[in-house]
Amino acid sequence: MKSKDWREQGQEKYLSHVEFWKTKYVSYKDILEHDHCEFCWQKFCDLTLDKDCHKIGYATKDKKRWICEECFVDFKETYNLINLSLSNKEGV
Ligand SMILES: [Zn+2]
């Protein structure tokens, strides 16, 4: 068994085999203007003035769960994350 990463907090319960799309961040509801990466808790936001937050990431279809690009690469195999954006044009 390889040792667990600090970012792993039981996400396998709800992220295993979940489909993700690489996309520009958009909040799923009006009152919430930011979300956090499911693993490293890095912030996602759509405010162009905030340089500290991600603008691009991997999101579930309902846009309720977000994973940053770095964590997606690190954990896609561990959690069997499904990258549906591969069939689309890559790169932004
Ligand atoms: Zn992350």
Instruction: Express each pLDDT in 20-45 by its tens digit.
Output: 999 999 876 665 578 999 999 999 98
11, 26, 12: which is closest to 64 by C-alpha? 26
Predicted confidence at residue 51, as pLDDT, reads 75
How much is the pTM? 0.82
Contact between residue 25 and residue 86 where contact means Cβ atoms under 8 Å apart = no
Measured in Å, residue 54 CA sits from the centre of ligand 1 at 9
Measured in Å, residue 38 CA sits from the centre of ligand 1 at 7
Measured in Å, residue 1 CA sits from the centre of ligand 1 at 22
- Say how far apart CA 81 and CA 15 lie, in whole Å: 7
Measured in Å, residue 88 CA sits from the centre of ligand 1 at 22
The pLDDT of residue 7 is above 80: yes
Measured in Å, residue 72 CA sits from the centre of ligand 1 at 7
Average pLDDT across the chain, whole number: 86
H or E element at residue 9: none
Measured in Å, residue 16 CA sits from the centre of ligand 1 at 16
Contact between residue 79 and residue 4 where contact means Cβ atoms under 8 Å apart = no
